[in-house]
Amino acid sequence: MLNYRWLLSDPRITTLSVGPATADELDWPLQVADTDGALNQAEQKAIARLDQAQKDALGGDQCAQCHACLPCPEAINIPEVLRLRNLAVAYEMTAFGQYRYGMFENAGHWFPGKRGDRCTDCGDCLPRCPQQLQIPSLLRDTHQRLGGQKRKRLWEE
């Protein structure tokens, strides 16, 4: 429920798009549907704990999603690849990361960009990264963690 509240606390967001598999999966979104103001103190503390857990788990390897690394000459969606790594390392969301990582090169315009193993170590991204992340090695690490088996494209049989 916190994720819905966090989204609705942003005045730019006026609609949540949810995809429930069953009717009871609508319970949480409906509980907060009319709660679109600022986060309360308990919610702010919970978000702060999540942020701190991510910092603790990732240390100096945390990508802040600034997109300064782009464009990549190999068309790697560096911020999204590293976001999936952030989630897998910090919150043990490996299964989610594997599923989404498997969509690179398989979902067309719905999930643009190439996988991390397409990195050629050209280094174009390195001087642009304000955090001075070692992006090529983080891309390889992400591919090792999340690569899994090659999947069919969404429109293939």
- 9-46 per-position pLDDT tens digit: 999 988 888 888 898 888 888 888 778 889 999 999 99
Domain ranges within the chain, ordered by starting residue: 2-57, 61-146
Instruction: Specify the pTM.
Output: 0.83
Residue 154: pLDDT above 70? no
* Secondary structure of residue 62 in the 3-state scheme: coil
| Pairwise pLDDT comparison (108 vs 79), residue with the higher score | 79
Convert the pLDDT of each residue in 134-143 to its tens digit.
999 999 999 9
CA–CA separation, 105 vs 152, rounded Å?
Answer: 9
Reported as a pLDDT band with limits 50, 70 and 90, residue 70 is: very high
Quickly count helices (H) and strands (E) in the chain. 6, 0
Q: Facing residues of 76 across strands?
A: 114
Q: Please report the DSSP string for 4-57 in residue order.
A: HHHHHTSTT--------SSGGGGHHHHHHTT--S---HHHHHHHHHHHHHHHHH
